[in-house]
């Protein structure tokens, strides 16, 4: 089992030809979010009048490989989401490459996600034979929201381009 932040080739393409996840396209909660003009790896969802409703950020925890054995490159990445309150909600999101970006380009599209919880701490991410494990610290029943203490390992797999618990 290896610590993961590596990238694999996309159907024979060199790693350098894969678009960065920081430029992925995604929708959350029924409304589109756009890439922040100020910060790489941050997306913003705004109301019609421009008010900021949600911010989503890409963490360094990610794996890019053919995770479901279908010959296509998949990506899993831990994202954080904040709606402006005290919570910072973590999720493991799956992404698939889309070649309909026009002009022969490809882009990542968010294809699914599994909630990890509020203020979960990620300690490690490993991948072996398509199974991705997250070593996390979560809240126990008596923990304050600032200070999770329960260490656990969560296992995930990609099936048909979407992440799910394994």
The reported pLDDT for the residue numbered 5 is 39
Question: What pLDDT is stored for residue 14 in this prediction?
Answer: 46
**Other CB atoms within 10 Å distance of the CB of residue 20:** 11
The boundaries of the domain holding residue 9 are 2-165
Starting at the edge strand found earlier in the chain, the sheet holding 150-159 runs: 2-3, 121-128, 131-138, 150-159, 162-165
Q: Point out which residues pair with 27 in neighbouring strands.
A: 32
Tokens of 4: 């993961």
In angstroms, rounded to a whole number, what is the distance separating the alpha carbons of residues 122 and 84?
21
Give every CB contact of residue 102 below 8 A, 6+ residues apart in sequence.
Answer: none
- The tally of domains found in the chain comes to 1
pLDDT at 7: 35
* Locus of tokens 């479901």: 68
Tens of pLDDT along the chain (166 residues)?
Answer: 333 433 333 443 445 578 888 888 776 665 667 776 667 788 888 777 877 788 889 999 999 999 999 998 999 999 999 887 888 999 999 999 887 755 557 888 889 999 999 999 999 999 999 999 999 999 999 999 889 999 999 999 999 989 999 9
Confidence (pLDDT) at 10: 40
């Amino acid at each position: 089992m290896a610590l993961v932040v590596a990238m694999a080739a996309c159907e024979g393409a060199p790693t350098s030809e894969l678009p960065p996840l920081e430029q992925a396209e995604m929708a959350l909660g029924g409304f589109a979010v756009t890439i922040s003009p100020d910060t790489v790896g941050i997306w913003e969802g705004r109301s019609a009048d421009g008010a900021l409703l949600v911010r989503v950020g890409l963490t360094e925890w990610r794996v890019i490989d053919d995770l479901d054995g279908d010959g296509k490159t998949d990506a899993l990445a831990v994202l954080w989401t904040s709606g402006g309150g005290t919570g910072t909600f973590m999720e493991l999101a799956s992404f698939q490459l889309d070649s309909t970006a026009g002009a022969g380009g490809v882009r990542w599209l968010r294809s699914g996600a599994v909630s990890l919880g509020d203020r979960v701490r990620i300690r490690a991410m490993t991948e072996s034979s398509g199974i991705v494990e997250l070593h996390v610290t979560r809240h126990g029943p008596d923990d304050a929201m600032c200070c999770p203490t329960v260490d656990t390992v969560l296992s995930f797999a990609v099936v048909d381009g979407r992440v799910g618990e394994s």
